[in-house]
Structure 1
């Protein structure tokens, strides 16, 4: 498995886990977990190489725009 495939699987796994926690946890806790998830994944986007971003289907500009969004924004 390539490195980017591992990253995509990890991010997808975290999204699924966050969705499950959101469905079962109290509303306030799940919201904070969502915020933490956004912080983590947006920070990770800023550290991906051009090749990794191309594998994910994002340009450098798109990744930078998403990575610099505040955690409270969708």
Structure 2
């Protein structure tokens, strides 16, 4: 069964711009591998553990970095 929606990480990338933070800095500070970061960049699925590490780093809620988008 195919889903009619996906997760978008545009909010996360906007936050990086607002914080003047590079992708590499986020990977280093939130302990995210390059392959996982590229999954995020391509709106692919990542673990909730990864999202939690990002939220912990920014001290934010998941809705501040991810949103569900209908196709």
The two structures have a TM-score, normalised by structure 2, of 0.32
The two structures have a TM-score, normalised by structure 1, of 0.31
Indicate the structure (1 or 2) with the bigger Cα radius of gyration: 1
Structure (1/2) with the larger helix percentage: 1
Bigger relative CO (Cα 8 Å, ≥ 6 apart): 2
